[in-house]
Every structure is written in structure tokens, then in C-alpha cells.
A = this chain, B = another copy of it.
Amino acid sequence: MKNDILLRALARQPTEYTPVWLMRQAGRYLPEYNATRAKAGSFLKLAKTPALATEVALQPLARFPLDAAILFSDILTVPDAMGLGLYFAEGEGPRFERPLRDEAAIMRLAAPDPTAELRYVLDAVRETRSALGGRVPLIGFSGSPYTLACYMIEGSGSNDWRAVKEMLYARPDLLHHILDVNARAVTDYLNAQIEAGAQVVMLFDTWGGSLTAAQYEEFSLSYMRRVLSEVHGAPRIVFTKGGGGWLESIAASGCDAAGLDWTVDAGDARRRVGNSVALQGNLDPAVLTAPPARVREQVRRVLDAFGSAPGHVFNLGHGISPHARVEAVEALVDEVRTYSTQLRARPS
């Protein structure tokens, strides 16, 4: 591999500079992405057509010297493959045509065979990996078992996840059954992505942060731990949005790296978990609508907070927004490289 700096940072080895990639780096803030998406007709068509998914996965790398590519896909492909019917209403988040509304539907759930129902994802992994030609590593991913369950039960995004919480309190056995199937499915799926060529995998636990501390352990982290214990052959990143309070448990889950959202002070995070895992994050994505000079200033703050010890992967604290300015992203990537190189050169 020409640039393995991400892999070295995830292994907490010294690197010449801090590697950087951005959650949702192939996305609507890029005009060329919007053009390909228009050609495909929809986000889902784009994600399900390996040649187009490969094309958009490589677009940000043509603009910015990023240190990783990420598979172009969605966090909810697994329940879609289970038959729930993923779709996107225009201008809204993901929805399922057939959310889990009764016990019978829940008991029928089965982990899909990734080489069958999710073959289009594995094809996209293979094609993207091949198109990268060893330039940078390719990251595969899935939603976490709990985050998948949120959408499967609620049928859409939610401010309060009322249907999920109703099940959690009234029928925890049903929720555990869903999570059990999801953990099996996500394990098989990530292992299949690694076999197809993914060199890093990441669990997006977008909604674990809506739980109490005890519920997070019982309904989200314990299932991620199970996935982590059975996914092998590539470093594994866990990101729980809103999970800053539980960082010690996340770091002890068996992951190689923990993602931090922007509300967490990176210096505090490092003090709390020591050198036990790499840390990924955590610039406020909202800074990408600011003038480039402000972006550079905020990037330096994040790098200063993490310090120059090995084991930091620069990223946003959440996915990039469609409103991000291309010149702001350019400033971000450039400043990470320049400033983190300087930091390492300083006598400490």
C-alpha cells in the first residue's frame, strides 16, 4: 500500500502526520457527487450499483489528499437485506416500508447471507478496492445492532425513539431477540466486507447515545462487543454518537479505535482511556460552513487537544453536512497535514 498511515495510526504506531478522512466524505457537498447521483436517479440506486458506488467513493480522493476511502453505502443495508424495504423519502432520512410491528415479524427475522442479499455491497467493496490500486486503505462499515434495531422498530428516524423505548421497557425480550439476530448479521456482513477487501471496518452506533448508561451496556455495547469478538482481519472502529460519558467501556469493548463526537474534549478522552485504543475525531461538522481561516483555527485546536502521541485519526465528530463548503473541506485536510507535521517536529 502506498499510504498506510491510517493503519499505523489505528495500531497506535508513530506516523509522520495525523491521518485524516471524513465521515460521509463522498456526499452532497460535492458537485460531482450530485451529478453522479442525478445520473443514478436516487441515493439507493447509487449505493446499489457497484460501478457508481465506486465512482463516488473515489471522488473526494481526487480533490483532497485524504488518507482513506470509505465504501459508498448506507448503515441500514442489513435490515434492507432482511426484507424490511429501505427507502428514502425526498429530503428526509431513511425509512422502512415494513417496520417490525408485531411479535411474529420479529420472530421471523433472520441474518441474511451477505454473499447473496448483500452481494452488491461486496461487489462495491471489490470494485472500489481495485480502483484504489493500493493508494489508501478502504474502510467498510455497518450500523450497530442497536442502531439498526432503532430504525427497524420505529420505521424511520425519531426525536424520541418512542416505539423502540416502548419495546425496551415493556418487552425487552423482543428487543434482545432483534439485537441477537442483528449482531449475527452484522458480524457476517463485516467479515464478508473484509474478505472482499475492506482494510478497516467501522460500527456506526448513531443512536446508542439515546439510552441510559445501564441500557447502553445492555442493549448496545454488549452486542457490539459480541460483533467485535468475531470480526477479524482488520482494525475495528466503534463510534457511539453521544457516547462520550461511556468512553472507558467503549475502549474496553475490544475495538481498536473509538470515535468521538464533537462534544467530547479530546484531551480528557485521552486521559480517560490512556493508550489502550486509538481515538478518531472530533471536529464539529458545523465548522465546515465557516471561512477557511476559521476552519484552520478549529483544526489546530482539535490537533492540540489530542496531542502528538500516536493513535489519533482526524475526522469530524459526525457526518459531513450537505451544506459544507468545498473550500472549507480543502482547508481542513490541508491544515491537518501541515499542522500535525509541525506538531511532531516540535521538541516536547
How far apart are the CA atoms of A216 and B268 in the complex, in Å? Answer: 15
Q: Is the interface of A mostly helix, strand, loop or mixed?
A: helix
A-B contact pairs, 10 of them (CB 8 A): A161-B286, A165-B287, A168-B286, A169-B290, A169-B298, A170-B290, A210-B263, A213-B268, A214-B301, A242-B263
Task: Determine whether A212 belongs to the interface, using a CB cutoff of 8 Å to chain B.
Answer: yes
* A263-B289 contact, Cβ under 8 Å, with A170-B294, A268-B213, A298-B169: no
Residue pair A323, B214 in contact (C-beta under 8 Å):
no
Nearest B residue to A262 via CB reads B212
The contact string, 1 if C-beta is below 8 Å from chain B, for chain A 320-331, is 010100000000
Residue pair B263, A212 in contact (C-beta under 8 Å):
yes
- Contacting residues, chain B, for A245 (C-beta < 8 A): 244-245, 263-265, 268
Question: In the complex, which range does the number of interface residues on chain A fall in?
Answer: 35 or more
- Contacting residues, chain B, for A14 (C-beta < 8 A): none
Residue pair B165, A289 in contact (C-beta under 8 Å):
yes
The contact string, 1 if C-beta is below 8 Å from chain B, for chain A 260-303, is 00111100100000000000000011110111001000100100
How far apart are the CA atoms of A260 and B210 in the complex, in Å? Answer: 14
Tell me, rounded to whole Å, the shortest Cβ–Cβ distance linking A271 to chain B.
13
Task: Determine whether A211 belongs to the interface, using a CB cutoff of 8 Å to chain B.
Answer: yes
How far apart are the CA atoms of A299 and B305 in the complex, in Å? Answer: 39
Residue pair B268, A321 in contact (C-beta under 8 Å):
no
Output the residue of A170, A212, A264, A321 with the most chain B CB within 10 A: A212
- Contacting residues, chain B, for A268 (C-beta < 8 A): 213, 245
Residue pair B170, A291 in contact (C-beta under 8 Å):
yes
- Stoichiometry, as copies per complex, reads 2
- Contacting residues, chain B, for A213 (C-beta < 8 A): 263-265, 268
- Contacting residues, chain B, for A286 (C-beta < 8 A): 160-162, 165-166, 168-169
Tell me, rounded to whole Å, the shortest Cβ–Cβ distance linking A7 to chain B.
28
Q: 10 shortest A-B CB distances, which residue pairs?
A: A165-B286, A169-B290, A213-B265, A169-B294, A244-B245, A166-B289, A212-B262, A170-B290, A169-B287, A212-B284
Nearest B residue to A161 via CB reads B286
Task: Determine whether A65 belongs to the interface, using a CB cutoff of 8 Å to chain B.
Answer: no
How far apart are the CA atoms of A162 and B29 in the complex, in Å? Answer: 15
How far apart are the CA atoms of A29 and B287 in the complex, in Å? Answer: 39
Task: Determine whether A235 belongs to the interface, using a CB cutoff of 8 Å to chain B.
Answer: no
Task: Determine whether A209 belongs to the interface, using a CB cutoff of 8 Å to chain B.
Answer: yes
How far apart are the CA atoms of A77 and B301 in the complex, in Å? Answer: 36
Tell me, rounded to whole Å, the shortest Cβ–Cβ distance linking A71 to chain B.
25
> Told that A160-B286, A169-B290, A212-B284 touch, could you supply 16 new A-B pairs with CB distance under 8 A?
A162-B289, A165-B284, A165-B286, A169-B286, A169-B289, A169-B291, A169-B294, A210-B263, A212-B262, A212-B265, A213-B264, A213-B265, A213-B268, A245-B245, A245-B264, A245-B268
